[in-house]
Amino acid sequence: MKIIVTVKQVPDTNEVKIDPKTGTLIREGVPGIINPEDKNALETALRIKKDKDDVTVTVLSMGPPQAEIALREALAMGADKAILLSDRAFAGSDTLATSYMLSRAIKKIKKYDLIICGRQAIDGDTAQVGPQLAEGLNLPQATCVEEIAIRGDVVTVKSRFDNIMRTIEMKMPALITVSNRANRPRFKTMNGVLRAFRDKEVLTWTKDDLELNPMRIGINGSPTWVRKTFVPSHSRAGLMIEKKPTESAADILDFILEKAFLRL
């Protein structure tokens, strides 16, 4: 069985500060990490690999050359192969262009049974690339997956839609996106790190390695334009309740029910 996991290198948002003048992220000096839910995707793949014979896990990313280290980290966690799509012509891609290029790379990989993506990235929060990639490859898809089982060529998943869980069966090849509820990603082992650098390699594919429509990549292929970014002001005053604890609790419950945060 062949599994492809897509990963994105993102700035560690715990360390990111926002420039108050321009409203953009200050990325200088901020470490790049694997997008957290992509680690859940990789963990899902690695657990399948542990349970079944003959599973290979390939991680695929698009990004600048520095993104190689994110792929190296995925190899250290246990992935078998890594491919980085990197070319100046890819710069400025939105989710549509990104998913197009990923789909072309997957066409080139040819053989695969399951594609696993993280639900969304912590820098853009769009949750679009997974679903767009499935459309681009004409594959059945399930998003926000929390549980997965494979029997023969059928993958059965539990997918969350708000507070409803759906059980979905799909014939493979198929694509799923997983959320952080799916599992707890493993720690890297010392020997895993060694093997990621000594025994495994990260392949880099440029635009010349892929069959691409030049109008669908980079800025040309990106209809999304960010008009403005800004930091919303959090000026709403909190609600102060100063009563006895039992009365306060009752007031808080009323408030929660009124706002429909919770239903009884």
Partner 1 sequence: MTLCYQMDDKFEMIRMAVREFAESEIKPVAGELEEKEEFSVSLTQQMGDIGLFGMTVPETYGGQGLDYISYIIAVEEVARIDGSQAATLAAGNSLGISPIDAFGSEAQKRKYLPDLCRGRTLMGFGLTEPNAGSDAGATNTTATRDGDSWIINGRKTLTTNANTPMTKGSIVQAVTGTKPNGKAEYTCLIVENGTPGFTLNTLKRKLMWRGSNTAELFLNKCRVPDDAVLGNPGDGFKQMLATLDGGRLSIGAMGLGCAQGAYEAALRYSKERVQFGKPISKQQAVSFKLADMALKIELARNLLYKACWLAENKRPYGKESAMAKLYCSEIAREVADEAVQVHGGYGLFKDYDVERFYRDQRLLQIGEGTSEVLRIVISRAIGC
Residue 189 binds partner 1, judged by CB under 8 A? yes
Residue closer to partner 1 by CB (options 66, 248) is 66
Quick one: 1 or 122, whose CB is closer to partner 1? 122
Output the smallest distance, CB 196 to partner 1, in A: 7
**CB under 8 A: which stretch of 112-120, 151-159, 183-191, 249-257 binds partner 1?**
183-191
Check binding of 193 to partner 1 (CB under 8 A).
Answer: yes
Site membership for partner 1, residue 187 (CB under 8 A): yes
Measured distance CA(38)–CA(41) in Å, rounded: 5
Tell me which of 188, 204, 216, 222 binds partner 1, using CB under 8 A: 188
Q: How far is the CB of 99 from partner 1 (least distance, A)?
A: 29
Rounded Cα distance, 98 and 104, in Å = 10
Rule CB under 8 A: is residue 72 a binding residue for partner 1?
A: yes
Looking at the Cβ atoms of 36 and 124, the one nearer to partner 1 is 36
Residue of 18, 91, 149, 194 interacting with partner 1 (CB under 8 A): 194
Name the segment binding partner 1 (CB under 8 A); options: 67-75, 88-96, 173-181, 227-235.
67-75
Q: Closest distance between partner 1 and the C-beta of residue 73, in Å? A: 6
**CA–CA separation, 20 and 185 (whole Å):** 34
Residues that bind partner 1 (CB under 8 A): 69, 72-73, 76, 187-194, 196-197
